[in-house]
A and B are shown apart, each in its own frame.
Chain A
């Protein structure tokens, strides 16, 4: 049997009313419910953000501070306090011949970018066709990207050997008079390492351009074909301009990677011969972890950071200019 309605009504009506009042009351501009959501949201974010704060954001701030201090192995072990030296590290950099050599090599390394991007675009165009088995070709071109740099570096070191297979083929073809020690050659060593960067990176940029190409509606190219444009003209005047966003993204990534190159060099030449493949990042590693001069290493890192930012800004401006009228 049901209770009389008026006996049950007050508590039933009171609860939603109280809840409604509570819901509308604002604490610091937020209702209780909104506070609850906020708390839950930050609980979800907490572990990830804490790690990012400690290992990604904090290093940028502390690294800049560190560049103004004398901070060596003794400081790290706590037997000697960090000493403020102001801009002394940067003055020392100005006089440091190895630093200028490393800077020059890092800038030279950027030469790999245009070659790499042109090859990757051509490769992407070549595999952007509905051929049978094309997926396997794409996969084959991508394999170097996912292979360990240590494996890649060791193999190329062997291929580049004085009595290795590259020298054999080139001398047999008559392109070389006698075998060259590629990685020991004062001028060629850097280019030999750059070639490995090109070989390893091709597949990565190919995929970026492939995505760019597949976003282009085939109608544009078909219309140009009907108007009598040749294949080169279509590529030059239709495809390439439409690919500009992809080119911007890919070359920015590529420039930054080139200025910061380290692993190829560490595995293949160790910075030699005679500092000829010493790059900025290699110098940071050398100063920091061979000489334990962390303050000075941080100063080099700050210079590299500024350089990377300037280069990506320049890259952005160059590609933006005149490029966006197509959209």
Chain B
């Protein structure tokens, strides 16, 4: 019983900021700050309707969906392609490629902030979705994750397909890809969270607010309408709900993905 009390207290510590956010977003009128803190009453959805109608939240949401969709899709495709030969083929340079990939986990990624901006300017991609997505369109974490998954597939399946005359691409497409589905699901969820929440890079390469994803747009709006805490809070709730829904249904994948990432 004491254990549950302790665990609940800790849960309150992690959940409290969210509860406060929700209460603020649902409170229809009155002040947000001040002593004593106002009670969340009266409740209503006015702030959600307000932020949806008066601020470009639908546009930001659409941008976020486009960026996240493209990012997740590209990661699944490119990681599934790149991990395949690393797991199941022998060829000269395999070890070199493997260690090059491993080294990226130690490389100072932040240098990319400056240089990739210069590259994007040269490619004339500044202020496009492509500039947001491309630098993280393939994740080394994803390649390692899927490589592990490919390694578990028995060799007999591959041999049988080859005897039946399947091409290399056909073997990958029809035999391998369906069998790494659990790995693909884990990767999809992780990349979904990463792209949905990505903030710094879009902030750097996007110039026009009509292309902002929610993370950048929300901060932009909070700067423009600093006094309107309730509307911004409603926007923050709108941004958080999809992540929470995905998380509630896919918890076990998160735990697995992180431990793969940690033990590598």
Contact surface of A with B, Cβ cutoff 8 Å: 30, 34, 37-38, 40-42, 44-45, 47-49, 51-52, 54-60, 62-64, 66, 71, 76, 123, 126-127, 129, 131, 134-135, 137-144, 146-156, 158-159, 161, 163-165, 168, 171, 199, 202-204, 207-208, 210-211, 246, 249-250, 260, 262-263, 266-267, 281, 284-285, 288-289, 294, 297-298, 301-302, 304-305, 308-309, 312
Which residues in B have their C-beta under 8 angstroms from that of A34?
Answer: 91
Q: How far is the CB of B187 from chain A (nearest CB, A)?
A: 13
B78 located at the interface, meaning its Cβ lies under 8 Å from any Cβ of chain A in the complex: yes
With A42-B91, A146-B193, A246-B262: A56-B112 Cβ-Cβ less than 8 Å? yes
User: Are the CB atoms of A52 and B112 closer together than 8 Å?
Assistant: no
Flag whether B258 is at the interface (Cβ < 8 A).
yes
Does B24 lie within 8 Å of A143, measured CB to CB?
no
- In the assembled complex, which residues on chain B have CB atoms less than 8 Å from the CB atom of A211? 255, 258-259, 262-263
* Chain B residue nearest in CB terms to A167: B35
Q: Is B115 part of the binding interface, using a Cβ–Cβ cutoff of 8 Å?
A: yes
Q: Which of B134-187 contact A (CB under 8 A)?
A: 134-138, 140, 143, 168, 172
Q: How far is the CB of A115 from chain B (nearest CB, A)?
A: 14
- Any A CB within 8 A of the CB of B94: yes
Q: Which residues of B contact A (CB under 8 A)?
A: 3-4, 6-7, 10-11, 13-15, 17-18, 20-21, 24, 32-37, 78-79, 81-82, 84-86, 89-94, 97, 100-101, 104, 106-119, 121, 134-138, 140, 143, 168, 172, 193, 196-197, 199-200, 204, 214-216, 218-219, 222, 229, 232-233, 236, 239-240, 243-244, 247-248, 251, 254-255, 258-259, 262-263
Partner of B114, one of A144, A151, A294: A294
B158 to chain A, nearest CB (A): 13
A304 CB contacts on chain B under 8 angstroms: 108, 110
Inter-chain contact A298/B100, CB cutoff 8 Å: no
- Taking chain B's interface residues, is the majority helix, strand, or loop, or is none over half, making it mixed? helix
Please give, as numbers and ranges, the residues of chain A lying within 8 Å of B219 by CB-CB distance.
150, 153-154, 267
* A34 shortest CB reach to chain B, Å: 7
Which of A64, A137, A288 is close to B11, meaning CB atoms less than 8 Å apart? A137
Distance to closest chain A CB from B5 (angstroms)? 12
Q: Which of A141, A153, A208 contacts B259 (CB 8 A)?
A: A208
Give the interface SS of chain A, mostly helix, strand, loop or mixed: helix
Q: A59-B115, A63-B114, A207-B258 are in contact. Are A140 and B91 (CB under 8 A)?
A: no
Q: Complex Cα distance A35/B229, Å? A: 64
Chain A residues near B113 (CB, 8 Å)?
284-285, 288, 301
Residues of B within 8 A of A165 (CB): 20, 37
